[in-house]
Structure 1
Amino acid sequence: MSLRDAIDNFYERLVADAIEATREQTDNADYLTDVMCVALNRLPTRYYRHSIDMMFYLADEELKDMKDKSLAAVRAARAFVSEHRRE
């Protein structure tokens, strides 16, 4: 296993969850991938090695704040990607 495979960004999971929560029938995979990239670029990184550590040591209020920021970033990313769609 490489060092890169040993760590993850917690926001990736939160953004993916926010995308699923806001998903519309007309969304396609390319659009959602662009939304995820734009949203993640608007958020800080929060790396972890073991997901259980993140969940155990993260305060409830901090997790709620991270989820709220992820949802806001996804909404803003949807607007940005929709306005800048390639035809």
Structure 2
Amino acid sequence: MSLDFSSIHNHHESSVFEAVQEMAPRFPDVAARNELLIDVACIALNRVQPRYIRHRVDYLFYLTEAERAANGQMIASAVQQAFEFVSARERARPVVRAAA
């Protein structure tokens, strides 16, 4: 028997992706490079506890307003920290100049 698990996903993914896009203008050095924004999203997702679901509406139905607010704050904090981490890492990298 073959099972289709493609409907399972981490509930926080879309919220983290939205937060990365909203916060990106505050970090222009990172926002200028798509691969760095993807790094930010990965780092932020690794900082939040995953919530695997099949249907977003089912998960949201069972959350209280306090839990929704806590999730929002957790995601905002994780994304902020991820941007700061990636920005610091990029500033610390040596500049490679092309040979003249």
Please classify the TM superposition score into its range, dividing by the shorter chain length: 0.7 to 0.9
Aligned to 1:83: 88
- Among residues 17, 28, 48, which one is paired with 2:53 in the alignment? 48
TM-score, normalization by structure 2: 0.77
Measured in 1, the distance between the counterparts of 2:74 and 2:45 equals 10
- Is 1:65 the counterpart of 2:39? The answer is no
Aligned to 2:4: 2
Amino acid at match of 1:54: Y
- Is 1:11 the counterpart of 2:12? The answer is yes
Measured in 1, the distance between the counterparts of 2:72 and 2:15 equals 6
Moved over 2 A (4+): none
Question: What is the aligned length?
Answer: 86
Measured in 2, the distance between the counterparts of 1:53 and 1:39 equals 24
Q: What runs of 5+ residues in structure 1 fail to find an aligned partner?
A: none
Amino acid at match of 2:48: L
| Aligned-CA RMSD value | 1.8
Pick the structure with greater CA Rg: 2
Amino acid at match of 1:61: A
